[in-house]
């Protein structure tokens, strides 16, 4: 099981706003914690940066306690839906063959997905098949 049931239909900006409120941080303090400039943080929060670079997403995930997969799901509705379906299969102790069948359906359209989405889906499927049950951070 992946523990992805906690993926909520929140945007990245909503998550960051909630995180800042919970941690009593300003936007500048969060920028420092993540390791980005104040201007870069401002662009993320205003929506000017629609999809931060993968390294930035990993920094945001690490700083806010989410996984890289969860952060990507906030940015990509298709990924969020596919992860929800895969997580449901995993959480219901579905056999690897049923999980693989769903993964094959995704694979049929895989080359049409953005590179970041491909990376996250591959990590999820490989993680499930390895039986490790741990999430990629």
Name the domain count of the chain.
1
Terminal-to-terminal C-alpha distance of the chain: 15
Can you tell me whether residue 11 is helix, strand or coil? coil
> pLDDT of 67-91, one tens digit each?
777 787 777 766 666 666 766 676 6
Q: Which domain holds residue 106?
A: 1-137
Across 20-24, 30-34, 40-44, 118-122, least confident range? 118-122
Q: Which residues contact 62 (CB under 8 A, 6 or more apart)?
A: 137
CATH number of the domain that residue 71 is part of: 1.10.260.40
Sequence-ordered alpha helix ranges (H) in the chain: 12-23, 27-34, 38-46, 54-64, 68-75, 77-91, 96-108, 115-130
Contact 43, 110 (CB under 8 A): no
> pLDDT of 26-83, one tens digit each?
999 999 999 999 999 999 898 888 778 888 888 998 898 887 777 877 777 666 666 6
């Amino acid at each position: 099981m992946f523990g992805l049931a906690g993926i909520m239909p929140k945007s990245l900006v909503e998550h960051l706003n909630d995180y800042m409120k919970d941690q009593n941080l300003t936007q500048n303090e969060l920028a420092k914690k993540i390791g980005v400039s104040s201007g870069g943080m401002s662009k993320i929060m205003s929506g000017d940066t629609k999809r931060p670079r993968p390294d930035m997403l990993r920094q945001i995930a690490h700083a806010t306690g989410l996984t890289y997969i969860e952060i990507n799901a906030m940015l990509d509705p298709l990924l969020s839906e596919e992860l929800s379906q895969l997580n449901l299969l995993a959480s219901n102790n579905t056999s690897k063959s049923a999980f693989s069948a769903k993964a094959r359906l995704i694979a049929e359209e895989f080359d049409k997905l953005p590179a970041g989405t491909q990376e996250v889906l591959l990590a999820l499927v490989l993680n499930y098949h390895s039986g490790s049950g741990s999430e990629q951070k």
